[in-house]
Amino acid sequence: MLHRSPDIFDVAVIGAGAAGLMCALSAGGRGRRVIVLEHAAEAGRKILISGGGRCNFTNTECAPERFLSANPHFCRSALARYTPQDFISLVEKHRIPYHEKKLGQLFCDGSAKEILRMLLDECAGAHVDIRLDHTISDITKADDFCIATDHGDITARAVVLATGGLSIPKLGATSFAHCIARRFGLAVTNARPGLVPLVFSDTDLALMRPLSGVAADVLASCGAGAFRENLLFTHRGLSGPAILQVSSYWHEGQVIAIDLMPDTDAAGFLRSRKQARPRAEARTVLAETLSKRLADALAERHLPSGALGTLADRALAKMGDALNRWQLTPVGTEGYAKAEVTVGGIDTAALSSKTMEAAKVPGLYAIGEAVDVTGWLGGYNFQWAWASGRAAGNAIPGA
């Protein structure tokens, strides 16, 4: 027989991920009676796989300009009130060793398990009731919210949607938060995979597939996004940090631009080498700045064979343009299965930027990846989870 509890919680947090646990420990720390409901068998599954298992838990260079949203100003309030240093202080309180890898990215020295354990310990200290393996079939609201689960109904004065977005369905990602938001009359923006590898047509793959596994330091750009990071060739197209970053800005049909020699005027470089090394082949000269496999492939595609001194300057100029301004159009992405985040989500126009509460549905909150706020690669999305979770947790009223 299913157990039906008569108890009323101050808040039911739906989802035991980064944002949900931060919200729960924040509300619980203020004396609120909190229950966390998670459909998976363990909490924080995305935390555990993040950063190659070491959890890139924040970024010291976090700024609102490094987040995408239909309302780019929405994230400012929460990010200003819970900063990377605030989370770092929590990490240091729990004596978790960490280091900066690059570009402000902070990782655990050991394991992502330490971050999850820290959050769970903080929840335990705040008397948060965490219930795993609870599948929710419906959420309704009269005076209070009624959450129907496969273990019985739960009543709460407030509900926080913290189930994330659509990325990485093998970890249990679903459209639950979006569906519940729509049911309560909140708009949801068009969602798409973000921080995801890009795929290309057979014409482009003729160059890319033989180079699978080759990396290059590039400047990749699309729309308002431009990133100096590594690119990685794959058998399906392009990946690596530079491509993952621009993928969040890319829309179907758009061109992306890649500078394969971002510190160099490629045409000028080739002309100078033509003077200094006229007998050298173009591929040999290109290998001074590019990997040999990439240099060979580009020279074969863009230049006639023969010594550099025999090539016309216009041919070198054309090659230089291909190196500094390689333009190509992806045919798609590798989808939510490989996407680190979901771009889009619950429309921020429906939410308070200070509390994350829905203006038209008192007591309903949405946080983290469920909301139309998406950060850059490198700890930004975790920082949004911490900040938005804290904003909601600090706003939950008592009985």
Q: What is the pLDDT of residues 60-119, one digit of tens each?
A: 999 999 999 999 999 999 999 999 999 999 999 999 999 999 999 999 999 999 999 999
CB of 144 closer than 8 Å to CB of 12: no
Burial bucket for residue 257 (CB in 10 Å: 0-12, 13-18, 19+): middle
Sign of CA dihedral 52, 58, 62, 65: positive
Q: How far apart, in whole angstroms, are the C-alpha atoms of residue 290 and residue 294?
A: 6
Q: How far apart, in whole angstroms, are the C-alpha atoms of residue 94 and residue 100?
A: 18
pTM of the model: 0.95
Predicted pLDDT of residue 306: 86
Concatenated DSSP letters of 76-145:
HHHHHHS-HHHHHHHHHHTT--EEE-STTEEEESS-THHHHHHHHHHHHHTT-EEE-S--EEEEEESSSE
Predicted pLDDT of residue 292: 95
Decide if domain 8-191+341-393 falls under CATH 3.50.50.60.
yes
Topology at the third CATH level for domain 266-323:
Helicase, Ruva Protein; domain 3 (1.10.8)
Predicted pLDDT of residue 3: 42
CATH superfamily, domain at 194-261+327-333: Translation factors (2.40.30.10)
Predicted pLDDT of residue 195: 98
CB of 32 closer than 8 Å to CB of 396: yes
CA dihedral 58, 62, 64, 67 (to 10 degrees): -50
Predicted pLDDT of residue 120: 98
Predicted pLDDT of residue 7: 77
Domain ranges in the chain are 8-191+341-393, 194-261+327-333, 266-323
Counting as low any pLDDT under 50, the low residues of the chain are 1-6
Are 8-191+341-393 and 266-323 in the same CATH fold?
no
